Structure 1
Amino acid sequence: MQKTKKQNILAASAFAFASLLMAGCTSNTEKPAEEKKQLSLDSVSFTAEEAPEWSRLFKRTFGWFGGDGIFAVTRNGRENPNSSAGSETIIWFSDTMLGEIGEDGKLKPGYEMIHNSISVLKGSEPDSNRINFYWPKESGKNKSLFVPNTPGTGADEYYWMGDGFVNQARNNDLYIFGYRIKDTHDGSPFPFKEMGNTLVVLPGNSQPPFTSQRQIDIPFFLGKKVDSTGSFGAGIFVNTKEAGATDPDGYVYVYGIRGMKKELMIARVEPASIEDFGQWRFFDGNGWTNDLTKIKTVTDSLSNELGMMRLKDGRYALVFQEEGLGKYVAMRLSNSPVGPFGKVIRLFDCSASVAEDKDFFPYNAKVHPVLSQPNELLISYNVNSFDFFNDVKEHPQLYRPRFVRVKINE
């Protein structure tokens, strides 16, 4: 009897111990139901509205009064939402208009265009007293801030600027992608073509107008027709711990656009190796390869400039202008920086901004994570005209960024 009782106690103890082991094992391997649920890549609950306080920041009447190609980074290299609150924000533009707009709203004689410029905003608020615009002058003449000066540069080329990042692995130097552009004078609506791709490097903590800079040819498509090969620099996602990424893997993801369908191609590299092009890897649809010829495009209907931001729920939001010049600011969602990407989600109709003239069009929408909130995307898009040099005289403030605020509902 004593033996049986003892056996029962031992058996019960063993069962209890095994149950604890199983419970412990279960708690380590099983995810809560809410974590198991896969969020949709084809839909999201959101509200969208204009952000007039940000649009007004770039509505100016003297000096710098217009520009496109707007990209923004913090000087300290943080890329996560609202990181601008603790740092200066460097904002750069491509083609830039300089001059004076009269009280009648018309452009005064003497205006001019340079090909790029920069501004510095102190803090995270759109305060006109805390932003300054910069471009160099030589002998009293306005000049572009960045001028192509690489072995691959041809005659009469100029820069439009792509995305960039502050490289904390290389002395906080600012790396900006440059597009070498040449006018074609062929009478087409877009009388220019891209000739090649470079990196423009500004020393860490240097000040405008950044006279000390290095320029490096990107060799991948050097000497080839960019119309068919595409180029890199349309957008960047810095997925490093130092930049504030929530799930860092130590890489900078560099997005490029190829062809008329605006297809997305992706490269990545560790920040410290950004100038060693042999260390770059290219996404082939399944993984990473050092063979550029195997790169695959992963989605389409995008724009030549775009932005990537990780949402609070873990999804990645790729923001762009639908089909390049479409009327919608749009987004595709993914569970990783490389896809697969969901369907186009239209966020905002830009029609009101271009209704004044039949030649006006919106383009190159992108999210600015450093100026956004964790679940609130601050997005800019540009407005231009197919008859630009005539329309800008009558509507001189058409050519500037407009801003939209998109709130993701939790």
Structure 2
Amino acid sequence: MKKLSLIILSGVFVFCFTGVKGQAVSDKKTADLEHINFTVEPAPEWSGLLKRDSGWFGGDGIYTMRLNGVRGPAATPNDKILFLFSDSMIGEIRDHTMLPGYKMIHNSVAVLSGDKPVAQKMLFSWAKDTAGQAESIFVPHTPKTQNGDYYWLGDGFVNQELGNAIYIFGYRVRNVSDGAFGFKEVGNTLIKIPAGSVSPYLNQQQMDTPFFLTDSAGDSGSFGAGIYVNTKKAGALHPDGYIYVYGVRGMAKRLMIARVLPKDFEHFEKWTYWDGAKWVTEINKVADVTKDVSNELSLTALPDGRYALVFQLDGMTTTVGMRIGATPYGPFGPVIKLWDCKPDLLKNTYLVYNAKAHPSISNPGELLISYNINSTEFIKDLTTDPNLYRPRFIRVRFK
């Protein structure tokens, strides 16, 4: 029987899941997928890094990567870390309110120099039109793009086998009159940025992909929610040479997994998909490996050889959840609740979503995890709480 104990020490929540101590996983059939010891606490220095009053002052969709291609801990003072954001607020805040002239764009980036959350070393950027007004950096222009489509960004990585180019998944989104949210994803795109490029990446390339799918039940899904680079060059603990790409489909937020060798990343016919027992070439045979995840998530190797799948439970609940995996493709154990985000929901119109880990900015033995805050009455609530719309961070340390 699993036993959970909770001790509060100086604001640090200490969780102890008692049971068999995790070992380096060599047999996925015998890996302990239920028990792990950890502590969790807020990471205010990282949350504060994104609390800004000028220029970029809000956004979601946050992903991070080191521009040298190394994924795991720890970053160094010489590293440059790229932050990807989706919808972003650009403007000025004075006296706790937004000044006229603010604008939302659909994506932006920032580069942090070094391994510490120092505001002066964080440079945000976006594109500008001929009048100097803020615009999205990544705008769809693929053959399948229709007028009015825009990008929200998925995960990305530096491909050290293809000239250190950056690859980022772009979800092609379209505003619609029907549906619960007024928008829907209509396509999946791969964005390629040559090594050494600088924002706004005028030399970017875009490729329509086959990674947006609709299954026999009518549920749609897309790949790019998370990437795990399991290569020696990226610093993986147990490298097998593959890039693992995670997808989510349906209202039940079911997890799908694909993989490909780095050198074949643009050759979509060489991708394979986990069908629950083996890797197959037919995307329509991809299995639902687990469920109740979120549209953005992460997979990270743990020091003991297991893997942490981090997500927002059921997509938009207040729980930051984790499932332990025996391999990058499962099997995955039950949900372990890492954090309750309720204290951040200052109004009943606020909501939380899309938690994920950031190994590129985490120290050894820990994971920095972000989650996003938004509102169902967006502009109204932003008027009185202009800094609400930004990621918050927690720190999980594994024992």
Question: What TM-score comes out, normalization by structure 1 length?
Answer: 0.88
Per the alignment, residue 405 of structure 1 pairs with 395
1:272 equivalenced with 2:272 (yes/no) = no
Per the alignment, residue 365 of structure 1 pairs with 355
* Structure 1 residues 176-325: aligned runs within 5 Å: 176-186=168-178, 188=180, 190-221=181-212, 228-325=219-316
8 Å CA contact 1:253–1:268 kept in 2: the answer is: yes
Q: Deviations over 1:119-170 (max 9, x none)?
A: 0000110000100000011211211000001011112100000001000001
CA distance in 2, matches of 1:245, 1:399: 33
8 Å CA contact 1:51–1:403 kept in 2: the answer is: yes
CA distance in 2, matches of 1:228, 1:54: 36
**Aligned residue identity for 2:244:** Y
1:99 equivalenced with 2:91 (yes/no) = yes
Greater gyration radius: 1
Per the alignment, residue 12 of structure 2 pairs with none
- 1:291, CA displacement in angstroms? 1.2
Moved more, 221-230 or 117-126: 221-230
* Structure 1 residues 77-156: aligned runs within 5 Å: 77-83=69-75, 85-103=77-95, 105-139=96-130, 140-156=132-148
- 1:245, CA displacement in angstroms? 0.7
CA distance in 2, matches of 1:53, 1:85: 17
CA distance in 2, matches of 1:227, 1:59: 40
CA distance in 1, matches of 2:113, 2:133: 28
- List 4+ stretches of structure 1 deviating above 3 A: 33-39, 83-86, 185-188, 220-227
1:386 equivalenced with 2:373 (yes/no) = no
CA distance in 1, matches of 2:250, 2:214: 17
**Aligned residue identity for 2:393:** F
- Whichever structure has more strand as a proportion of its residues is 2
- 1:43, CA displacement in angstroms? 2.4
- Whichever structure has more helix as a proportion of its residues is 1
CA distance in 1, matches of 2:25, 2:288: 29
CA distance in 1, matches of 2:151, 2:285: 29
8 Å CA contact 2:25–2:304 kept in 1: the answer is: no
The change in CA–CA distance for 1:223 and 1:154 in structure 2 (over 3 A counts) is farther
8 Å CA contact 1:179–1:198 kept in 2: the answer is: yes
- 1:83, CA displacement in angstroms? 3.2
8 Å CA contact 1:227–1:258 kept in 2: the answer is: no
- 1:85, CA displacement in angstroms? 4.5
- 1:227, CA displacement in angstroms? 7.0
Per the alignment, residue 7 of structure 2 pairs with none
- 1:375, CA displacement in angstroms? 1.3
Q: Give the SS at the match of 2:94.
A: coil
- 1:374, CA displacement in angstroms? 2.4
8 Å CA contact 2:106–2:136 kept in 1: the answer is: yes
Q: Give the SS at the match of 2:322.
A: strand
- 1:108, CA displacement in angstroms? 1.4
1:395 equivalenced with 2:385 (yes/no) = yes
- 1:187, CA displacement in angstroms? 8.0
Moved more, 219-228 or 315-324: 219-228
8 Å CA contact 1:152–1:222 kept in 2: the answer is: no
- 1:185, CA displacement in angstroms? 3.8
- 1:197, CA displacement in angstroms? 0.2
- 1:40, CA displacement in angstroms? 2.6
Q: Give the SS at the match of 1:83.
A: coil
Moved more, 227-236 or 151-160: 227-236
The change in CA–CA distance for 1:225 and 1:216 in structure 2 (over 3 A counts) is farther
* Structure 1 residues 20-59: aligned runs within 5 Å: 40-59=32-51
CA distance in 2, matches of 1:86, 1:274: 28
CA distance in 1, matches of 2:190, 2:218: 19
- Any unmatched runs of 5+ in structure 1? 1-32
- Any unmatched runs of 5+ in structure 2? 1-21
Question: What TM-score comes out, normalization by structure 2 length?
Answer: 0.90
Q: Deviations over 1:83-104 (max 9, x none)?
A: 355420000100000111112x
The change in CA–CA distance for 1:158 and 1:112 in structure 2 (over 3 A counts) is same
Per the alignment, residue 165 of structure 1 pairs with 157
Moved more, 315-324 or 178-187: 178-187
CA distance in 1, matches of 2:215, 2:333: 32
Q: Deviations over 1:263-298 (max 9, x none)?
A: 000000001111101100000001100011211110
Q: Give the SS at the match of 1:303.
A: coil
8 Å CA contact 2:171–2:185 kept in 1: the answer is: yes
